[in-house]
A and B are shown apart, each in its own frame.
Chain A
Amino acid sequence: MRSRSGPFVWLVRKEWRELTASRAWWALLALTGPLVGVSFIAAVNSYAEVSAGAGSGCGFVCNPLDGIWAPTFSAYELAAIFLLPFVAIRLVGGDRQTGALTIELQRPMSPFARMGAKALVLLAGWLVTGLAGLCAAGLWLAYGGSAYAPEIAVVAVGHLLNAGITISLAAAAASMTDHPSTAAIATLAVTVGLWIVDFAAAIHGGVWTTVAAYTPSALVAAFQHGLVQVDVVLIALTIIATGLAVAALWMRPGVPVAGRARDSLALAAVAAVVVFGATQARGSWDASESRRNSFPEGDEQALEQVRAPLTVEVHLAPADPRRQELDHQALAKLKRAMPHVRVFYVSRTSTGLFEEADPGYGEIRYDLGGRHVMSRVITDEGVMETVLGLAGITPAADADDEFHGHPLAVRPVAASWVFYGLWPTVVVGAGVLVLRRQV
């Protein structure tokens, strides 16, 4: 008599049992609730203060995406960095330590399928932690808060991709090293390395800025703003696939270390080419209700008429807050609205403190098809008007499509009870029940 389920199904079931038997996963689950709770309660209080101060016409200031969803879900970024790696390493590296891997490897099966089973289960385990975010959303709606589904979905997808990156890096580290502690150190080293890239981008600009645009923190930030960028998504998926594939390559029995290293390098080279190709991909979707990543629709239509290539030369240092604001706001929107925009940054120093006296410092020089203009304005409106003026286009009159905001001045009633009391109790109770049922 043979079992009816296929080996892959057995493997997925086994991985799920192993996940739910691991203290690391239950710890992740138990801690996610309070983490989300702290963020949610602080966000609701701040939102109430802003709403009460600004009144009914608060407009962009009172948008739940920036006021509630981004800060509440940011708890998952912390969990993905500091908790999730240990869960992934336990599931991948534990098999090697106990000898389970030696047993399982004797069932002929693709190493990619083996790693796929682990990745599926880890992703499912991560999705379970999303219940805390759902609790927050439920409470917000119960308070009478506004919820715009597309922007919440985009924030959630961003954190899912971020978790996927963490899982793939941790899985690769666990598969390549002999001991889970080594894998944990390697994973955290990569995380710290990516923080250094972000730091270098803020200080030095240049190529660091280009690289930093694709770090996990930049990915999460973009999604938290309700922005889906094709290049960022493609690169994230490539990193996830590469990490899992490397983990699978190192799981093969009987292959010398040199062979595994050679195959991994070849895979990394292919991934690098794909990543480079992905950076050339254009296209994005602003899912935010407030259109926080876009110019007003009328202005965007006017900008779309501009066919000549636009070159912008910004004379601001990397650490100058004006450059940060210009880059993240007006220029980012301009790049989304116009097909041919090139931006160059010019500065002698990283901070710009000693360049303030330079006559050209702070200038933003525009070149549109040979016509030049200089401005120092960094606001969205100022930049847009400058470009349209250079193109000789008069924008259409403002339509009444302005975002009016969703002010809500309420206290986070019952949230403390839910996240600090009910959540841990339910998680501990569920843990005891599940572990007892496994025996």
Chain B
Amino acid sequence: MPSVPNSSAAPEVLLRVTGLTKTYRRVTALDDVGFEVRNGEVLGVIGPNGAGKTTLFECLAGMMPRDAGIVRVNGDLLPATQAGAHLFYLPDAIAPWPSQPVGWALDFTVGFFGGRADRRDDVVRALNLDALLDRRIGTLSKGQRKRAMLAIGLLAPQPILLVDEPFDGLDLRQTRDVSAAVRAHAADGRTIVLSIHQISDAARVCDRFVLLSAGHVRGEGTLDELAAAAETRGAHASHGLEEVFLALT
């Protein structure tokens, strides 16, 4: 695995994944996947469709049984059944409680999960949800729903937030707004892991990256660290994350 060495000044590791493997009958979706997530960072898991990003998130969140692998939080073993105590996973393309208004869903998230009610207004403002609070979730457009779901994720109290395809369905302006909201949230101490297939979106918001392809981790690090690794393979990494990704995968 061509991962890049960590710098000595790196923040403490909050989540460490080693040897994570998942197969669907004869198809290996994740093969000996390993990486780490640092406290307070925004980590992008980058890969094309079918790379195994969603499977990885579902395994981490305990939604799907894994065949092998160890997950540690703050150095302690995290069994799949206890994942909900540390991680909140926001799947892509869901419309939970479609008959209920967005405002109720946010209140429910705060009440049921024990989230912070004082963050509610900030999250609503950051994601431009004021006009949608009385709208039923089932009536929202794809982009509106994505923002409402992200608000749920930002209000959940777990220290690590996993978001599957946070920018899917958003236009450019919305993507920038959501990126800003995610960055602000991370600056407030939350650790966020995003699964992204659009590399340009990932470059905009993430501190570090995990490159995933065909169920394998092909690289891990900051853009500079990955670019250095790519240049050892003869790539012109100055062209950005896309060139780096192509060189390493």
Query: Which parts of A5-57 form the interface with B (CB within 8 Å)?
Result: 5, 7, 10-11, 14, 17-18, 21-22
Is A1 a contact partner of B81 (Cβ separation < 8 A)? Answer: no
Q: Is B167 part of the contact surface with A, judged by Cβ < 8 Å?
A: no
Binds A, one of B31-39, B58-66, B195-203: B58-66
Q: Is B12 part of the contact surface with A, judged by Cβ < 8 Å?
A: no
Query: Which parts of B213-238 form the interface with A (CB within 8 Å)?
Result: none
A10-B111, A105-B63, A106-B88 as given contacts; A21 in contact with B158, CB under 8 Å = no
Binds B, one of A148-156, A159-167, A250-258, A305-313: A250-258
Is A1 a contact partner of B62 (Cβ separation < 8 A)? Answer: no
Q: Is B116 part of the contact surface with A, judged by Cβ < 8 Å?
A: yes
Query: Which parts of B69-117 form the interface with A (CB within 8 Å)?
Result: 80-85, 87-91, 93-101, 104, 108, 110-114, 116-117
Q: Is B118 part of the contact surface with A, judged by Cβ < 8 Å?
A: yes
A95, A104, A106: most-surrounded residue (chain B CB, <10 A): A106
Least Cβ distance of B86 to chain A in Å? 10
Least Cβ distance of B117 to chain A in Å? 4
Is B101 a contact partner of A3 (Cβ separation < 8 A)? Answer: no
A18-B99, A99-B95, A100-B97 as given contacts; A254 in contact with B62, CB under 8 Å = yes
- CB-CB under 8 A from A21, the residues of chain B are 99-100
Q: Is A280 part of the contact surface with B, judged by Cβ < 8 Å?
A: no
Q: Is B152 part of the contact surface with A, judged by Cβ < 8 Å?
A: yes
How many angstroms from the CA of A105 to the CA of B82 in the assembled complex?
Answer: 11
Query: Which parts of A78-110 form the interface with B (CB within 8 Å)?
Result: 95, 98-100, 102-108
Is B84 a contact partner of A108 (Cβ separation < 8 A)? Answer: yes
- CB-CB under 8 A from A253, the residues of chain B are 61-64
Q: Is A399 part of the contact surface with B, judged by Cβ < 8 Å?
A: no
Is B100 a contact partner of A438 (Cβ separation < 8 A)? Answer: yes
Q: Which residue of B lies closest to A23 (CB)?
A: B99
Is B100 a contact partner of A17 (Cβ separation < 8 A)? Answer: yes
A3-B117, A14-B108, A254-B64 as given contacts; A102 in contact with B100, CB under 8 Å = no
How many angstroms from the CA of A99 to the CA of B135 in the assembled complex?
Answer: 18
Is B61 a contact partner of A106 (Cβ separation < 8 A)? Answer: yes
Per-position 1/0 for A303-336, Cβ under 8 A of B: 0000000000000000000000000000000000
Q: Which residue of B lies closest to A256 (CB)?
A: B65
Q: Is A2 part of the contact surface with B, judged by Cβ < 8 Å?
A: yes
A1-B117, A108-B84 as given contacts; A103 in contact with B96, CB under 8 Å = yes
How many angstroms from the CA of A203 to the CA of B61 in the assembled complex?
Answer: 54
Q: Is B16 part of the contact surface with A, judged by Cβ < 8 Å?
A: no
A3-B110, A438-B99 as given contacts; A102 in contact with B89, CB under 8 Å = yes
**Chain A, interface SS category:** loop
Is B65 a contact partner of A255 (Cβ separation < 8 A)? Answer: yes
- CB-CB under 8 A from B100, the residues of chain A are 17-18, 21, 438
- CB-CB under 8 A from B98, the residues of chain A are 98
- CB-CB under 8 A from A134, the residues of chain B are none
Q: Is A439 part of the contact surface with B, judged by Cβ < 8 Å?
A: yes
Is B97 a contact partner of A107 (Cβ separation < 8 A)? Answer: no
How many angstroms from the CA of A106 to the CA of B115 in the assembled complex?
Answer: 13
How many angstroms from the CA of A7 to the CA of B88 in the assembled complex?
Answer: 16
How many angstroms from the CA of A104 to the CA of B100 in the assembled complex?
Answer: 15
Q: Is B134 part of the contact surface with A, judged by Cβ < 8 Å?
A: yes
- CB-CB under 8 A from A255, the residues of chain B are 65
**Which of A17, A99, A107 contacts B91, CB < 8 Å?**
A99
- CB-CB under 8 A from B156, the residues of chain A are 106
Is A17 a contact partner of B104 (Cβ separation < 8 A)? Answer: yes
Is A18 a contact partner of B97 (Cβ separation < 8 A)? Answer: yes
Q: Which residue of B lies closest to A94 (CB)?
A: B98
A105-B84, A108-B85, A438-B99 as given contacts; A7 in contact with B114, CB under 8 Å = yes
- CB-CB under 8 A from A10, the residues of chain B are 108, 111-112
How many angstroms from the CA of A229 to the CA of B152 in the assembled complex?
Answer: 50
- CB-CB under 8 A from A2, the residues of chain B are 114, 116-117
Q: Is B142 part of the contact surface with A, judged by Cβ < 8 Å?
A: no
Per-position 1/0 for A104-136, Cβ under 8 A of B: 111110000000000000000000000000000
How many angstroms from the CA of A98 to the CA of B94 in the assembled complex?
Answer: 6
Is B101 a contact partner of A439 (Cβ separation < 8 A)? Answer: yes
How many angstroms from the CA of A324 to the CA of B144 in the assembled complex?
Answer: 65
Q: Is B136 part of the contact surface with A, judged by Cβ < 8 Å?
A: yes
How many angstroms from the CA of A190 to the CA of B145 in the assembled complex?
Answer: 38
Query: Which parts of A397-422 form the interface with B (CB within 8 Å)?
Result: none
Query: Which parts of B117-149 form the interface with A (CB within 8 Å)?
Result: 117-118, 134-136
Is A106 a contact partner of B84 (Cβ separation < 8 A)? Answer: yes
B62, B87, B101, B134: most-surrounded residue (chain A CB, <10 A): B62
Query: Which parts of A234-261 form the interface with B (CB within 8 Å)?
Result: 253-256, 259
Least Cβ distance of A102 to chain B in Å? 6
- CB-CB under 8 A from A107, the residues of chain B are 84, 112-113
A5, A11, A105: most-surrounded residue (chain B CB, <10 A): A105
Least Cβ distance of B81 to chain A in Å? 7
Is B113 a contact partner of A5 (Cβ separation < 8 A)? Answer: no
Query: Which parts of B180-211 form the interface with A (CB within 8 Å)?
Result: none
Q: Which residue of A lies closest to B101 (CB)?
A: A439
Known: A14-B112, A106-B88, A438-B100. 8 other contacts (CB 8 A): A99-B96, A100-B97, A102-B89, A103-B94, A105-B84, A106-B83, A259-B65, A438-B101
Return 24 A-B CB contacts under 8 Å, by A number.
A1-B117, A2-B116, A3-B110, A3-B111, A3-B117, A7-B111, A7-B112, A10-B112, A17-B104, A18-B97, A18-B99, A18-B100, A21-B99, A98-B96, A98-B98, A99-B96, A102-B94, A102-B96, A105-B84, A107-B84, A254-B80, A255-B65, A259-B65, A438-B99
Task: Name the 6 nearest CB pairs between A and B, nearest first.
Answer: A99-B94, A100-B96, A21-B99, A3-B111, A10-B112, A106-B84
Instruction: Please report A residues at the B interface, Cβ cutoff 8 Å.
Output: 1-3, 5, 7, 10-11, 14, 17-18, 21-22, 95, 98-100, 102-108, 253-256, 259, 438-439
